[in-house]
Structure 1
Amino acid sequence: MASRGERCSGCGRQLVIPSGAKFIRCGTCQTVTRVRPFERWGPAYDSNIRPAAGGFMNSNRPGLVNNRPIVPPKYNNNGFNNPPRPAQYAEPPLRPALPPPPVHGRKRALLCGVNYHQKSYRLKGSVNDVKCMKYLLVERLGFPIDCILTLTDEESNPLRIPTKKNIRLAMRWLVQGCQSGDSLVFHFSGHGSRQRDYNNDEVDGYDETLCPLDYETEGSIIDDEINGTIVRPLTHGVKLHAIVDACHSGTILDLPFVCRMNREGYYRWEDQRLPTACYKGTSGGLALSITACDDHETSSDTTVKQLSTGAMTFSFIKAMEDEPVGLTYGRLLNAMRHSIRQAKAGIRLDGPIANLVNKTVFKSDSSQEPQLSSSEKFDIYSNQVVM
């Protein structure tokens, strides 16, 4: 009588199955295993059967079909082989929706610049802001170039275009696996807006928003989402600097404290927390936001000869260049505000960043006031800017 092997569905032990048997009990674990139909195996799996001469098998050796070894079928937990899926149902290989730089190192940055080409509300300086910011981070602050992810509407890679989906994915990448000692930077240059607050967690009754390239069809990114994505995941010892050059951006990260400073440099921390609102702080880390203007203000481009830039971004870079060592947050904020106030008359630029724009004058008709907010209070004239 012909026989063949079958694995026990309980312990996996090889059992000898007589031809025609439908069930068999394992002598070791006493599990009853259902026997697969004998004909599914074919003659090559039966050690007592030889193929007929001239048949579809051109070898008389058992276990070979057309002189090729037969690959045993795979088993699931019930002992049955899994038939292959039809080709049309095959799952595509897994790949990330966005191919960002490798997640490694202690410094990481996400830079987004949106010019909104061919739109009536197009900007001129946002992409240039990203280029200048990248230069500052790499050449002056020691950020590895492969740890900087840039999204602009001049990129050829569709996954590097600053759409709402791509910006969301990139923000998750920025904080992925962050650990103590990490320094993260989020920079956005483009349009900002505000909308009615529907969950009653804003002091002024409005949510601030960033406008991605496709915001007309996909919607804006509101401050609640930005806070939940790049603020709350920050663990102990992680520091995030958000530099946002957009209108209505004062509390774009929804941080608990806003620094209110007058023109003489005196400041106080204003608590933005509401008893009815959810927690807006970090998971132990520090988040700092330097923005172009207050929530009710607008920001503008500037012109540096033939190169357009955002007023806030350029004043930030200029302040960092003018005082590369020992710069405090108070001195940074005052320097930025002074630069923008003097922009109507023109500002003479010096230093490596200015060399990118031929060491000339940039002008602006903006009266915006850069803002500072934080996840915790501190002395802005004692704490130095460390990125």
Structure 2
Amino acid sequence: MATRREVRCQCGRRMWVQPDVRTVQCSTCHTVTQLYSLMDIARGANRIIHGFQQLLRQHQPQHQYHEQQQQMMAQPPPRLLEPLPSPFGKKRAVLCGLNYKGKSYSLKGCISDAKSMRSFLVQQMGFPIDSILMLTDHRSVRAYKGTDGGAAFCFSACDDDETSGYTPVFTGKNTGAMTYSFIKAVKTAGPAPTYGHLLNLMCSAIREAQSRLAFNGDYASSDASAEPLLTSSDEFDLYATKFVL
């Protein structure tokens, strides 16, 4: 995959685009920026050099022109600057939204949660849109993006024997409590939070919502034990490891 390059908008927002992209619109101020590839710059430089040579040929004696041309040919060609490496490296985001429509255990809002996470990653965390793979069960998806392995961390809404709840308390519509509390925790946790800090913020937000629902008589006591969980592919220090996206 070609290395993306950084583009800075006039409003100060940084964006990362593919080398073949010619225009990009800022998601913050909506300014459209015209981009030029390194090849375009090289072609423009060649045209300037060619025009300069034509001008010299018209105003200099023939022998002086050939001497200068030989000196220019003897110099090594200028090196093109290499594109900046992507700040995300080889990271990818895979978002899954499965409502299990038509099943006895169908859910509500999972696809909306996946879309909310995608918007959060793109708008708040600066992820390129093409580095995100979204899998949903409302249409057939054939795209495939591989992975090079590495550590995996998973925030889940509840344990395997529990049921994840959806509540309108947060946004006024059926929204996954875990998804909403995760996004809110990342936004409000401050710089470089640990995984343990985020998990505590998520649990606090969900408990607060459960208390409000219980006060209104809309919350089942059987769901009281359902809390967000964090699992990982390798054992690590929960309160020492910084959360990084």
The answer to whether residue 100 in structure 2 is matched with residue 153 in structure 1 is: no
Aligned to 2:239, what secondary structure does the other structure show?
coil
Q: 2:177 aligns to what? A: 311
For 1:379 and 1:305, locate their aligned partners in 2 and report how far apart those are by CA, in whole Å: 33
Aligned length: 150
For 1:299 and 1:292, locate their aligned partners in 2 and report how far apart those are by CA, in whole Å: 6
Whether the 8 Å contact between 2:189 and 2:197 is mirrored in structure 1 is no
The answer to whether residue 130 in structure 2 is matched with residue 127 in structure 1 is: no
Describe the shift of the 1:120–1:298 C-alpha distance in structure 2 as closer, same or farther (beyond 3 A): closer
| Superposition map of 1:1-387 within 5 A | 106-155=90-139, 158=140, 160=141, 170=144, 173-175=145-147, 178=148, 234=149, 285-303=150-168, 304-346=170-212, 365=220, 366-367=223-224, 368-387=226-245
Tell me the TM-score normalised to structure 1 length: 0.35
Describe the shift of the 1:323–1:364 C-alpha distance in structure 2 as closer, same or farther (beyond 3 A): farther
Larger radius of gyration between Structure 1 and Structure 2? 1
- Please report how far the alpha carbon of residue 150 of structure 1 lies from its aligned counterpart in structure 2 after TM superposition: 1.5
- Please report how far the alpha carbon of residue 330 of structure 1 lies from its aligned counterpart in structure 2 after TM superposition: 0.8
Whether the 8 Å contact between 1:125 and 1:310 is mirrored in structure 2 is yes
AA aligned opposite 2:187:
E
Percent identity over the alignment is 46
Aligned to 1:107, what secondary structure does the other structure show?
coil
Describe the shift of the 1:133–1:376 C-alpha distance in structure 2 as closer, same or farther (beyond 3 A): same
Query: Gapped runs of 5+ residues in structure 2?
Result: 1-87
More helix by share: 2
Describe the shift of the 1:301–1:108 C-alpha distance in structure 2 as closer, same or farther (beyond 3 A): same
Describe the shift of the 1:302–1:286 C-alpha distance in structure 2 as closer, same or farther (beyond 3 A): same
Query: Gapped runs of 5+ residues in structure 1?
Result: 1-103, 161-165, 179-233, 235-284, 348-362
Describe the shift of the 1:369–1:143 C-alpha distance in structure 2 as closer, same or farther (beyond 3 A): same
Whether the 8 Å contact between 1:125 and 1:302 is mirrored in structure 2 is no
More strand by share: 1
For 1:295 and 1:117, locate their aligned partners in 2 and report how far apart those are by CA, in whole Å: 20
| RMSD over aligned Cα atoms | 2.6
Tell me the TM-score normalised to structure 2 length: 0.54
- Please report how far the alpha carbon of residue 142 of structure 1 lies from its aligned counterpart in structure 2 after TM superposition: 1.8
For 2:162 and 2:207, locate their aligned partners in 1 and report how far apart those are by CA, in whole Å: 15
If asked which structure has higher relative contact order (CA below 8 Å, sep 6+), I would say 2
